[in-house]
Amino acid sequence: MAELWHEIELSPAFHDLDPMDIVWHGHYVKYLELAREALLAA
């Protein structure tokens, strides 16, 4: 099977961050979906 690889660069939205500027773990899926969409569009 061919290896799929893609890289995206983004800045998390302010409302996704906690007071220590760390992305809350519940939002990881949203960012994984953005990466998946970019991979499939490439």
Q: What is the pLDDT of residue 28?
A: 93
The residues spanned by each domain of the chain are 1-42
Coil, helix or strand at residue 12? coil
Lowest mean per-residue pLDDT among 4-8, 11-15, 24-28: 4-8
CB 4 within 8 A of CB 40: no
Please name which of 36, 14, 10, 35 lies closest in space to residue 23, comparing C-alpha atoms: 14
Instruction: Give 8-22 pLDDT, tens digit per residue.
Output: 999 999 999 999 999
